[in-house]
Structure 1
């Protein structure tokens, strides 16, 4: 009887594992060019990867932009995130963008906007819902995601409407870049090649300056042991968002350092997945309710 019980338990455990999201089949579509040279001839050609569950149909979509101080990184490093999100029924797009010092922040933002617009136009072919596009990023990538979530200008310049339904900012840098570069000149000087020496550019690419009448909901995930400048800029951003009555959800991770805020997603049971997926689920429901009337 004991042996029979052990065998049954083993079969049950194996059945549970193979039924879990870790074993769900997904499709990976690699190196899809998304930049439109007719819109900006001075930008380099960039590619993106798409991760989707097999038999995906009309699922929410997340476009992810990696961090790396605006000067390093590549989409292939984050295949793990694309695969794990796809197994959780979110079609995920991971895009490259031009990096400093060869390119500056305006080039990065425009390229990221093109990645979002490519997604809007094409993602239905991969099982995604073009009306439920979320943008996410870590560190410098979160800055680019915040810029596009708070300022519609970059989509208007591309003769389009901002299709983003929610921004997910993972330990974001640069939320108030003007304040940072002004108050931390020694720490900030390594970013001058990205943001130029012009304070007007610092102002333009500081999402905190564009919260008035901002309608796209945001989620901020902050590590308790992140860099002091990130902590202070998040505090400033949340205060301004509260004054402007902007919808911002906030989650705090007491023991996480800056890099750990993204590497936690290597573990399928991390709090990060719970918070991101709950946000996407909540805002997806809002979108569906809004379009049903």
Structure 2
């Protein structure tokens, strides 16, 4: 069985290798001391070679409970999307406990500022930028897609034209933290502070509105209970604005496999994201 799976992986890798791409790594999008407090952070760009016209752009934000993870783990995602004619950007952002949630959201907005200003040089279309993320990254993607306040802080307009959420955490972090009643200093409170006002300000559910960019929302049916509950609450509110949402439930998927499945390009999740990005006007 192991030998059989190895052969399959080799075939899949070979099938994705025919289309040439360029990988530009560790590009600084935010200098040390930005806004007086933020650290230097980088991103990687995966772009098809010899594109004939500006291509749609996907900016991906990794998960890790807001306190771990890195862009290096997701090169497979960037390469596979780039080989399907999507310029893909994978970012790093400040992590807890050194930084808190508002700093993460500002850094995410700053990365999108860099993309909007520079992606043409990599064959991307700055008028078609989709932000995406898994888990905590899905939370940040939703937050900046729905709330313009982080872009207002940078004195720019939001360049986000769509959002693809992959098993996003924290869509109603206020409700979650109120019910958990954590002691001060526990992990999530190091990220979201002890202030309930911050919990609400960084919960996308409370800022839904009629002018939101389109969203693809994916969830695993066997993911963490907190994500199941938070997403259910989010979808109930979201349907007030989008009665027929682009909502995909993969009933047998757990949280980590919701991202691992993107190793397999013919899979339906890969096709959902690919098609969503390409259909953004």
Normalising to structure 1: TM-score of the pair? Answer: 0.87
Partner of 2:191: 194
**Structure 2 residue runs without a partner (length 5+):** 1-11
Cα offset, 1:53, TM superposition: 0.5
- 1:160-194 C-alpha deviation (Å, 9 max, x unpaired): 00010001100000000000101123599420000
Trace 1:157-172 onto structure 2 (pairs within 5 A): 157-172=153-168
2:75 pairs, out of 73, 79, 99, with 79
8 Å Cα contact 2:48/2:87 also seen in 1:
yes
> Which one of the candidate residues 3, 11, 24 is aligned to 1:29?
24
Q: 2:44 aligns with which of 49, 63, 82?
A: 49
Aligned-residue offset at 1:62? 0.4
Write out per-residue CA displacement over residues 205-259 of structure 1, whole angstroms, 9 at most, x where no aligned residue. 0000010234211111100110111011111111101123477311111111000
Whole-angstrom distance in 1 between the partners of 2:164 and 2:151: 18
Q: What TM-score results when the alignment is normalised by the length of structure 2?
A: 0.91
Please say which structure displays the higher CA radius of gyration.
Answer: 1
Deviation at 1:77, TM superposition (A): 0.5
Q: Which residue of 1 aligns with 2:256?
A: 259
Runs of at least 5 residues in structure 1 that lack an aligned partner in the other structure: 1-16, 288-293
TM-superposed CA distance for 1:282, in Å, is 2.3
- On the 8 A contact 1:217/1:246 being kept in 2, the answer is no
Residue of 222, 229, 232 corresponding to 1:232: 229
Instruction: Give the RMSD, CA atoms, in angstroms.
Output: 2.1
Answer 1 or 2: which has greater helix percent: 1
Q: Residue 13 of structure 1 aligns with which residue?
A: none
Per the alignment, do residues 19 and 227 of structure 1 end up closer, same or farther by CA in structure 2, a change over 3 Å counting? closer
- Corresponding position: 1:94 with 2:71: no
Per the alignment, residue 3 of structure 2 pairs with none
1:250 aligns with 2:247: yes
**3-state SS, counterpart of residue 252 of structure 2:** strand
